[in-house]
Amino acid sequence: MMKRMRVALVIVLLAVAAFGAKAQVVLRGDASYWIHGSDVTVEVEDITNFGDKTTERLRFVVWASKDHWENYDRGRILGLEALPRLGAHANFDGVRRTMHRYDVPNGWYYVTLTLAERIVDENGKVRWEIRDGVEFDERRYLGRSSVPVSPFRQPNAGALANHGKISFPLPHRASSSAQP
């Protein structure tokens, strides 16, 4: 009798783990951005899903903040752009997106790029969870009078994985490439 209960318990735990698995999507390699006129262009070397499930919809969010990135005080949205779903164990190489630049009050800002995934909870409520991100090293002057400048490049994207906790880029795995 006890052996049957253990087997049943193991089966239930495996089923819960299988249904609870999430996509594990990260930014890898170099990331850079350019501000030109009313646009922001973002370029990321690689976006990889290490999970066993396809992601939900993804999007880039570019933030401007007076202080270094904090998950509880993100600053103002500078731009956002939709990305397609990413299959299990797949990656997008050389992702480049141009998006509308939202105005921020004139001032000096840190710029942070985040990768967010659309999540629908058990009550049907939709929210966006930040899966990874990178804060660019240098502050820059932004506002309505921003002028085009040379690109800002940050090596080894992925500095803000899992809601502001520091992560390190993972080694490249063989995966199918898809173009976003």
Whether 170 maps to a domain, the answer reads: yes
Residue 158 Cα to chain centre, angstroms? 8
Alpha-carbon distances of 117 from 86, 124, 132, rounded to whole Å: 10, 15, 10
- Whether 155 maps to a domain, the answer reads yes
Residue 62 has pLDDT above 60, yes or no: yes
> Which H/E stretch holds residue 97?
strand 90-100
59-63, 67-71, 76-80, 137-141: which has the minimum mean pLDDT?
67-71
* 144 falls within a domain: yes
- Residue 10 in domain: no
Give the whole-angstrom CA distance, residue 132 versus residue 116. Answer: 7
Provide the domain count of the chain. Answer: 1
In a domain, 17, yes or no: no
Mean pLDDT confidence for 132-138: 92
- CATH code of the domain containing 123: 2.60.40
Q: Is the pLDDT of residue 67 over 50?
A: yes
Residue 180's nearest CA partner among 56, 94, 121 is 94
pLDDT band at 155 (very low <50, low <70, confident <90, very high): low
According to DSSP, the residues that pair with 117 across neighbouring strands are 58, 129
CA distance 155 to 162: 19
Confirm whether 4 is domain-assigned. Answer: no
Q: Which of 30, 107, 33 is nearest to 67 (CA)?
A: 107
Query: Which pLDDT does position 159 carry in this prediction?
Result: 46
Torsions phi, psi for 16 (to 5 deg): -65, -45
Q: Is the pLDDT of residue 50 over 80?
A: yes
Domain membership of residue 141 as a residue range = 24-178
- Residue-wise pLDDT for 120-132, tens only, equals 989 999 999 999 9
Residue 150 within a domain: yes
pLDDT, the chain, mean? 77
Q: What percent of the chain has pLDDT over 90?
A: 59
- b/e map of 156-178 (b: 16 or more CB within 10 Å)? ebbbbbeebeeeebeeeeebeee
CA–CA distance, 126 with 107 (Å, rounded to integer): 33
Are the C-beta atoms of residues 62 and 33 closer than 8 Å to each other?
Answer: yes
Domain-embedded: residue 83 = yes
Residue 165 has pLDDT above 70, yes or no: no
pLDDT value at 153 more than 70: no
Lowest mean pLDDT among 16-25, 86-95, 101-110, 169-178: 169-178
Structural Rg of the chain based on CA atoms: 19
